Structure 1
Amino acid sequence: MSEFDRLETLTQQLLAAARKAGAEQADAVALEAAAVSVDVRAGHLEHAERAEGVEIGLRVLIGGRQACVSASDRSQRTIEEMAARAVAMAREEAPVDDTLGLAEPGQLARDTDNSGLDLFDHGREPTPEELQELALRAEAAALAVDGISKIESSGASHSQRRMWLAATNGFSAGYGRSGHSLSTVAITGEGLAMERDWAGESRVHAADMPSPEEIGRLAAERTVARRGAKKPPTGAFPILYDERVASGLIGHLVSAVNGAAVARGASWLRDALGEQVLPKGFDLREDPHRPRYGSSRIFDAEGLATAPRLIVADGVLQGWTLDLATARKLEMESTASAMRGAGSPPSPGVTNLELTPGDRSAQELIREMGRGLIVTSMLGASINGTTGDYSRGAGGFWVENGEIAYPVNECTIAGNLRDMLLRLIAANDLHDWRSMRVPSLLVEGMTVAGE
């Protein structure tokens, strides 16, 4: 019996137990995962860990009520107990929501073959010793850069994950994913003058990974550039979000168009459908069918066929991100955006996003901004989901006369997201292999609180 056969059998056992316990509808998930991670420090192994296991999850629906349960034990007794507990929870504890329910059979994906997306690396799994060697090579490359005092951590990991989803509406399908990752955190200076930065990459296939030397060297170069960081002046200035953090800015827009927030009235874009939310010329596109990207998928967590779509076209908001329940609440159609874990119900989410790049380099935008802030790292956040008021801690580089003058830390940047997003200017530095492909973004007239 193959791995997928075992997972499929588990989901069918869960559905049978749910029907027997009195569920009107049910869906079940079986997940099998294994991961190995290795961390090194000062040329020696610091930590190694291997985790593996199977998790099963069941959702039952009865009279507009739902309940979810999960377990790591796969015995028939546990499966029957899960079903009985879920049905009891749905009947006695869950509130009524008439928008809950499985997809109709005619809504389900007909093509469930994920092989064309190439989401699983069938090459030999790396050994812990090989992962350690990759981490050591990255660490050595970082230490070789002048100005690096030590490496905080250097780590490599590999994972494999298989999933099967089945439901009483007849849907039954699964997929496998693999992942390789490598990262390094470097430190320059000592004591209160210490600064750190990092670099890291993740891929589905080992063949697509950059070399450990590239990652270690980039982490070190970023760190050395931060020597002597200080607070910037206070005032209203243009801010360039470096491509490392620009996706977070677009992420706030994505959160605001999530159907769950819109249905609650808790989104600062709740009345913006069909309105300008980005400057003209900007598209924000989701493509769940991008080969060899870790979040790609051909069907969603409710069994609906996924498809590329424009969230924003020429700056105008085209639609919300919806699963079945939020679509019914808003009297719309699902965008096949459901995601879920073993112990949670479906909720809307996005996969591979890409924002239209500009026609100028980030360096050209820096020259044009004259005086302002380049943000390369962020910490903490105060975001009002209803009004879009925005305040975040930031670090990066101060710009004078169109050139980087000195590194910056311990400052706060603030504005309103609706206004900020309408003033974006994009650079042309769109990077591959990101789940959110967003270039560096310049925003005029934000508030910087420093000295």
Structure 2
Amino acid sequence: MTKDLLALAHTALARARHFGASAADALVVDGRSLEVAVRDGAIENLEQSEAIEVGLRVFVGQASAAIATSKIDAAGIDRIAEQAVAMAKAAPPDPYAGIANPNQIAHDWAMPDIAGETLLDAAQLRDMALAAEKSALAVKGVSKSGGAGASSSDRSVALAASNGFSGTYQRTGLSLSATAIAGDGTAMERDYDYSSVIHREDLRSAEDIGSEAGRRVVRRVNPRKVKSQAVPVIYDSRIASSLVGHFLSAIMGSAIARGTSFLREKLGEQVFGENIHIIDDPLRPRGLASKPFDAEGIATKVLPLIEAGVLKSWILDLGSARQLGLQTTGHAARGLAGPPGPSSSNVILSPGSLSLDDMIKSIGTGFYVTELIGHGPNIVTGDYSRGASGFWIENGEVSYPVSEVTLAGKLADMFRNLEPANDLVYRGSINAPSCRLEGMTLGGR
């Protein structure tokens, strides 16, 4: 199948050159997915998709245009090739745009383990979701189901470019989630649990996911308000990845090139404490964002972002690298109908030495955050403000649930004071253990 996709990509390239493109690249994706949602013991929604699509980006000099189609016969390919060239001729030139030079492209690469079993069928997914929901409802204190869902996907990718690059890979995915509700009326609380993996054997059991969703929500019933104050804060590992996500937004090549990041002058400087190490690993076996090459045909490799607290690299695609006078880090990503841009892959904040329990015990009074609300900080200034809920810590113990709280601070200060626990679990493309932060401002009643 991947050979057929690659042949289709080369056909699109040839037609683009025929219509006058000076350079081009073609991305072909064959994607299949199936998703089942259940509620109260019955299927609530079932969605299935299957399509082969072609994305063609063409250059006429340094002007470019991109277009996509699902009509992959000869007439459909001719149509997008001709239209894309006409659009490029009308577009303004971009001095930083362009495909990779032939000496930059990957000619061989390591293939991470990112392809598992074939798609599960609707009945299998339904049974998994129903089992998760049943386990959530079995937890004492759960009043109703918020639903459960399971999905399976299979995606093959082919990329070819007029610089000589040609490559393919396949990715599969499987996920299962459950949401539980506790309490009644306006006092209802909601929480969830999930698992998302490449291989079925790595998926947590439906019973475990449902039970954990139930246990989490029961703990949240009857939350209290707390007064405004400055206290130590612990971010649960489920949401600590958001802190790393804010850091990533601040070191994206596009933000650095535009001068819209509070870290734009910090390359090579101490940003975190000396105990902090963060890497981007696009070759991690079974990583949810692993890939052998990026969207511009550059071989991927492990990239240290923070070493002993020092900022070591931006995340760059070709365009942002050219604008900054640097080399790409192999982190280009793109959709079918748009140009590439820099994007991270599997990012990992290394764990510390303290357990979460010991970290909580080390705090006299503080806030254990389990949920965040809102869009996040201002990356230009580094100002941080988010709604939050979780649990109050008194005398080193989790005492009672808390809601309707606002956390505020400066990302620069938060990064310098961040202390990771040792409970790192790989859940997604950004992974972090629970983290303690000092000096956060808590806005309450």
- Residue 119 of structure 1 is aligned with which of 114, 117, 121? 114
The 5-angstrom pairing of residues 245-284 of structure 1 reads 245-284=239-278
- Counterpart residue number, 1:436: 430
- Counterpart residue number, 1:107: 104
- The answer as to whether partners of 1:381 and 1:393 remain within 8 angstroms in 2 is no
Secondary structure of the corresponding residue to residue 30 of structure 2: strand
- Counterpart residue number, 2:84: 86
Deviates more, 1:314-323 or 1:44-53: 44-53
The 5-angstrom pairing of residues 355-434 of structure 1 reads 355-434=349-428
Deviates more, 1:226-235 or 1:163-172: 226-235
Between the aligned partners of 1:281 and 1:124, the Cα distance in structure 2 is 42
Residue 349 of structure 1 and its aligned partner are, at CA, apart by: 0.9
Residue 299 of structure 1 and its aligned partner are, at CA, apart by: 1.0
Between the aligned partners of 1:188 and 1:181, the Cα distance in structure 2 is 24
- Counterpart residue number, 1:222: 216
Between the aligned partners of 1:38 and 1:361, the Cα distance in structure 2 is 37
Residue 272 of structure 1 and its aligned partner are, at CA, apart by: 0.4
- The answer as to whether partners of 2:392 and 2:402 remain within 8 angstroms in 1 is yes
Residue 435 of structure 1 and its aligned partner are, at CA, apart by: 2.1
The 5-angstrom pairing of residues 52-451 of structure 1 reads 52-92=50-90, 94-112=91-109, 114=111, 117-121=112-116, 123-451=117-445
Residue 292 of structure 1 and its aligned partner are, at CA, apart by: 1.4
Deviations 1:271-324 (A, max 9, x none): 001111110121111111111122111111111111112111100001111111
Between the aligned partners of 1:249 and 1:433, the Cα distance in structure 2 is 15
After superposition, the CA RMSD in angstroms is 1.2
- The answer as to whether partners of 2:119 and 2:154 remain within 8 angstroms in 1 is no
Q: How many residue pairs are counted as aligned between the two chains?
A: 445
Between the aligned partners of 1:241 and 1:201, the Cα distance in structure 2 is 20
Which amino acid in the other structure matches residue 425 of structure 1? E
Deviations 1:359-413 (A, max 9, x none): 1111111121211111111111352221100111111111122211211112111
Residue 236 of structure 1 and its aligned partner are, at CA, apart by: 1.2
Secondary structure of the corresponding residue to residue 373 of structure 1: strand
Which amino acid in the other structure matches residue 229 of structure 2? G
Between the aligned partners of 1:113 and 1:253, the Cα distance in structure 2 is 28
**Is 2:19 aligned against 1:29?**
no
Between the aligned partners of 2:133 and 2:352, the Cα distance in structure 1 is 35
Deviations 1:199-250 (A, max 9, x none): 0011101011111000000000001010111322211111111100001011
TM-score normalised according to structure 2 size? 0.98
Deviates more, 1:430-439 or 1:193-202: 430-439
Which amino acid in the other structure matches residue 422 of structure 2? N
Between the aligned partners of 1:253 and 1:24, the Cα distance in structure 2 is 38
Deviates more, 1:387-396 or 1:5-14: 5-14
Residue 124 of structure 1 and its aligned partner are, at CA, apart by: 4.7
Unaligned runs of 5+ in 2: none
Which amino acid in the other structure matches residue 333 of structure 2? M
Unaligned runs of 5+ in 1: none
Deviations 1:28-58 (A, max 9, x none): 0111111111111111121111111111101
State the identity %.
45
Between the aligned partners of 1:427 and 1:19, the Cα distance in structure 2 is 55
Between the aligned partners of 1:371 and 1:391, the Cα distance in structure 2 is 21
Between the aligned partners of 1:67 and 1:225, the Cα distance in structure 2 is 53
Which amino acid in the other structure matches residue 324 of structure 2? L
- The answer as to whether partners of 1:293 and 1:433 remain within 8 angstroms in 2 is no
- Counterpart residue number, 1:13: 11
Which amino acid in the other structure matches residue 431 of structure 2? R
Secondary structure of the corresponding residue to residue 19 of structure 1: helix
Residue 95 of structure 1 and its aligned partner are, at CA, apart by: 2.8
TM-score normalised according to structure 1 size? 0.96
Which amino acid in the other structure matches residue 78 of structure 1? G
